[in-house]
Every structure is written in C-alpha cells, then in structure tokens.
Structure 1
C-alpha cells in the first residue's frame, strides 16, 4: 500500500522485495529520501512503541497559539455562550486562518475538538467580536491540553469494525448535526461531524440519514484495506430504535415517506449484508462528543473512552530527561487525562 501527498509518502508492505523495488524505480527520475522508520507525515509527528503509534502536532498547536495570543487555560472546548451570525461584517483573514489550522488539527489528531471547530466555522464569513472570544476559548483549551496524543494501537480481540453513529439538533438552525466515528482493532481510525445537507422533521429521520452517511464512509474504508486485512461487514451502532425499524422496513411508509431517496441506500446495504445495525443504549453512546457541546466531566469521559490521550509514559520520559532528580515513579502514578493538572508543573 502506497500513500502519497505532495512531497510526503508512506509505503506499507510485508514483502522486502517489493519494498526494495519501490525504492529503486522512482529514484531513477526523482530525488527521494527514504526512511526505514516513519517519524513524521504532513506535519504530524509519529512515534512508535511496540505495536502502537502515537500521533501529535505540536508545531501546528504552537503556531495556532502564537497567532491568537492564547494565554489562558480552559477545561472544555466551548464556553456556555450562544454563537450567532451577524449579517454585515468584514471577513477576518485571521479568523479564517485559525479555523483552517484547527480543522486540520481536529481531522488529524484531536477528534475531541471536531464539533467545536465545525460550530465556529458556521460563522466564518461573518466573524464578530463575540465569535473571536469563543475561538480564543477553544485555542486556550487546545493549549491547555497540548500534551494529549492520539494513540493508534492494535487489539486483536476486537477485529470487527464498529461504527458509532449519532445525530442531534444543535439548537441553531433547522438542520441536525450528524456524526460517526469508526473503531477498528480497538482503535479509532476515522471520525466525522457535519451538519446534515437536508432538513429532517423527526429525530429518527435524522438518525436514519446519519446511518447512510456512516455506512458509506465505513464501506469506503473497507474497500481500502480489504487487500491487507480480511474485514467482516461493519457494525453500525445507534441508540434510536425507530430509525433501525425504518431500515428493516417495518415502519418505512409511516416515518420515512418524507426522507429523500438517496438516503435509502442503507436499506440495500443491510439487505445485501454489507453492513449490520445494532441498537446501543443512550448511556453507551460515545458519538455525543461530535454532535453537541459537552462539559468538562463528559469531555474527559469520552476522551478516555476513545483512548485518545496516552501521555503518561512520554511525560515521564520528558520530565525525567529535563529534571534527572525528579522521581519517575511519582509521575507514572498519574493518569493520562490528568497530565495538564500535574501538581508540580508550574514549579519547573
């Protein structure tokens, strides 16, 4: 498998002959530098420990903090402020630039800020002073939690592709926000949070449409890895039984007659056994973080559930290198989610 983006690329193969052949062919016409170990790709720093990869973007976060002059701390992505768009305003290029950087950050290594960034992007063409306050609050949160690292590991006991789906009316506008994230081998590998393209009159209709979006994304991912990994059909997890009944045709005429035809693809995918759908309790949903603002407790809970932050080992190594007298055993007693609240942090 070969992935290339402009001047960066990654080659994944288990055959040494193929690897050597790929090394020789392009170098006849192009000047390429090959590294046996992957350390960075498109601005993402990568560290491998055993069967796990740890991803972070410290340079992008530093650039974002400097651009917005972030100096405060925050414990949740969005404050308790209603965001509204004003009709007349001059486009602020700095606001656009900050949103662009945060979108890449959210899509690459920080899924827990995906909803907040999309929420701020809604008024990107009419950014006002209050919008800047909310944006700086999000940057403060990113800076406060800059030690968080995305962990990509392998759990061979969880081979099924799990797709958590959700839709929620965000309280602004008439369209629902739908989201999903995909777990493969026990690790989150893809996530999305978007405003739906059409209006749903019922919650079950919005979640039914969200199933279609999530199923198409999951099948696209399966098509990309099927030559490498034998993958069973994705399992979609949703907390709305009415939407699942529409998929199974038991109440289709009553509740789905106003749904656009394009979303009925989910019925065909279920009948052809390309995907399966299971119900999940509302308390078991982890996709909520992508559809609405969460408080500090829920934000940290979902972050731990998604295994997004695994910094205790790296934090211990970093502090022990800078401060040899500091006891590493004390650092290791702290959980990854408590790294930013480390009691002696301000004394260094």
Structure 2
C-alpha cells in the first residue's frame, strides 16, 4: 500500500523567512521524501546539463565539464550543493543564469564553506580548515577546558584489545570516533591516531577512551591547523608510500600510509591496516606501495577529465628492497608467497604508469600516517606534509 504521509522540513538556520519565521517547507516527495530521491534529482540535473553542452566525467560521474577552446568550465555536484568554476568569468556567469532559469537556486558567491570545510581564497593560494567544526565537537563532548596535548598520540603507541580492561559507553565512544573521522577530511595529522582508535568500536575499553581523549586534547592545542594550497608551485603528480612493520600488537599486521601531491599541494591521503601479516618490513612496504599505486592510477584517470596527462608518476619509497622487487618482475623465494593482487605494482612499472624512486626515511611524509612520533619529528612531518596555522 502506498505511503501518503507528507514530508516537512524546518527553515534552515540563517535562511529563515523574516515574514514567516514559524512556517515550515512542504517538500516535493519525489525529490526529498524517498530513498530514490538523490537518484531522481541527479537524473534531472545531469540530463539538463548534458543537453546544454556539458559532458560527464569519465571517472567521477558527479563532475560535469564544458570546454571552449582553451577555457574550461567545471561543475561538481554533491546532491543539491554545487561547486563551479572556470578559467573564463563569462562561462561562470552563463552557468549561473542557466541554472537560475531552470531551477529555484541561489548563488552563494565565492566558495567559503562546503560540506563542513572552510575555504579561504587569497591571491597567494587557498587554505582549507575545519576549525569551526573542531570548536563544535569540543563543546559537544564538554572538552572546552580539557588540558591540551602537543601530539595526537603518544610516541610509538600501539593500542591492543585490552580484554581485561573496564568497558566504557560504546555509544559515546562511537560518536566521538564518528566526529573525528569527519575531521580527517582536512586533518592528516590526526589520521593515524583516529584510524587506530576506530579499530576498537565493538568493545571499547578505558585505555581506548584515553587514547581518543588524547586526540581531542591535541585538537584543543591545534584547532586551526589546515591545508595550504599555494598558487605558485609546480603542477605535477607525485606520491609517497610508507608502512610500519607489525605495528598491531594483537594480530601483528602492519599499517599502510600513502599521500599524493599535485605539485606542493596535498590532495589525497590514506591510512589502512593491511589485510595480510607481512613476514618482513620489505613485504609490508610492498603491500603499502600497491595501495598507493592504486590511488595514483585512479588520480591519473581523474586528471584526464581536467585535461592533464600524468603518466610515469613518481612514487617515493624509503625501502630499497621494495623498489628492487617492483623493478624486477621475476618472482623468487622472497616474494612468491605475496598475494598476486599486490604484484600489479610491477605491471604498472613496466607500462610506465608509475616510477618508484628512493626517498630518504626522514623525508618520507607518508610516515605521518603509519605511527605515532615524539614532538620534534611530529611537528616536522606536519609542516612537511603541507599543513599550516593561518
């Protein structure tokens, strides 16, 4: 039987109608009240844009592109939020007029806030941060007066299941982890600590809660830290890959870390516990390199939509043996036990999609995503990876 209940929403904060502050919106059920709503809206919008000369991205289907000789117009869609920009101001104006004629939409002007990210655009570059969100979650969990900490996790700290430890409120723990995971969108400095604590959401103990509170104490110390994207820097794709070795003291699995740059701009980063138990540091690094390589290939294809061809991308690795395995396609006793899916590193190297190069351990910024550090090393990595205080 059809469900006939109507759907209403409150007026969003900051957009209340001064003449009717107590009224609510009755929404169109097809667009807002059903599970299929986002699909229905996407079909409506994409059909409209395709009809007006835009093409869909080959990798990201929510990206729409229009080219006019040497100029390009980019439209990125996230449900009913849209970011757009162009190398030609008239194309931006045409897009605004086009959308406002067809849909009841308002232009918010220059991008300053999007999906929780604060965006500050200057003539020197762009600064991304989430300090308003940091303030909100510190207030949410009543950490306004918490004692600050200089790092998000103790040096070389490794949490275990702690089966003898005292239980804590699982709902509170998961809520704290969820808030912190959202923050990692602009804070690679807390990525490792958050991912480590997130492994214990089933039965969190007091020791795990202390580790989570340590992250909040660090956020209290560094609330405004963010990513800086300088305007005048080289524009090439480069990646860094690293791994700890058997860092998990429960199952002895290693943690892969990877980060990808466009020139001096950090645009992507990963931290993930490996699915295998590596029997050497070389193997752990090799598996991490495979994960990094997969991300690089995705970015190469994505960048083709923007008109950039970045083949033979450098992946910096600080393990000489790992580089030798990638460059040597012959399987031998040290590598034959490694699962085949990790060996596509070698295929990509042979096809000149990637090139593996030696990086000094001290300069491998992906190290930040694999373990905890003392203050001096941590601060060095935070600066080197591309984070600043405004």
Could you say which TM-score interval applies, normalised by the shorter chain?
A: 0.7 to 0.9
Count of residues in correspondence between the two structures: 309
For the Cα contact (< 8 Å) 1:60–1:101, is it kept in 2?
no
SS state at 1:256 partner: coil
Tell me what 2:236 maps to: 160
Mapped partners of 1:251, 1:43: distance in 2: 48
Moved over 4 A (4+): 86-91
* TM-score after normalising by structure 2: 0.74
Q: Which deviates the most, 83-92 or 138-147?
A: 83-92
Tell me what 2:81 maps to: 8
| Aligned ranges 1:181-220 → 2 under 5 Å | 181-220=259-298
1:226 has 2:304 as partner: yes
Tell me what 1:128 maps to: 205
Tell me what 1:101 maps to: 179
Q: How far 1:259 sits from its partner (Å)? A: 0.9
Deviations 1:114-162, CA, capped at 9 Å, x for gaps: 0000011111111112221111111010111012122122344x33312
Q: Which of 96, 99, 109 is the matching residue for 1:23?
A: 96
Mapped partners of 1:36, 1:148: distance in 2: 25
Mapped partners of 2:102, 2:170: distance in 1: 44
For the Cα contact (< 8 Å) 1:86–1:126, is it kept in 2?
no
1:75 has 2:150 as partner: yes
* TM-score after normalising by structure 1: 0.83
Tell me what 1:143 maps to: 220
Change (3 A) 1:132 1:183: same
* Structure that is richer in helix per residue: 1
Q: How far 1:304 sits from its partner (Å)? A: 1.3
Mapped partners of 1:83, 1:17: distance in 2: 55
Rg (Cα) greater in structure = 2
Q: Which of 333, 336, 351 is the matching residue for 1:272?
A: 351
SS state at 1:9 partner: strand
For the Cα contact (< 8 Å) 1:76–1:296, is it kept in 2?
yes
Q: How far 1:297 sits from its partner (Å)? A: 0.9
Tell me what 2:128 maps to: 55
Change (3 A) 1:289 1:272: same
Change (3 A) 1:303 1:264: same
SS state at 1:193 partner: strand
For the Cα contact (< 8 Å) 1:181–1:191, is it kept in 2?
yes
- State the superposition RMSD in angstroms: 2.1
* Structure that is richer in strand per residue: 2
Tell me what 1:259 maps to: 338
Mapped partners of 2:276, 2:85: distance in 1: 39
Q: How far 1:300 sits from its partner (Å)? A: 0.7
Q: How far 1:174 sits from its partner (Å)? A: 2.1
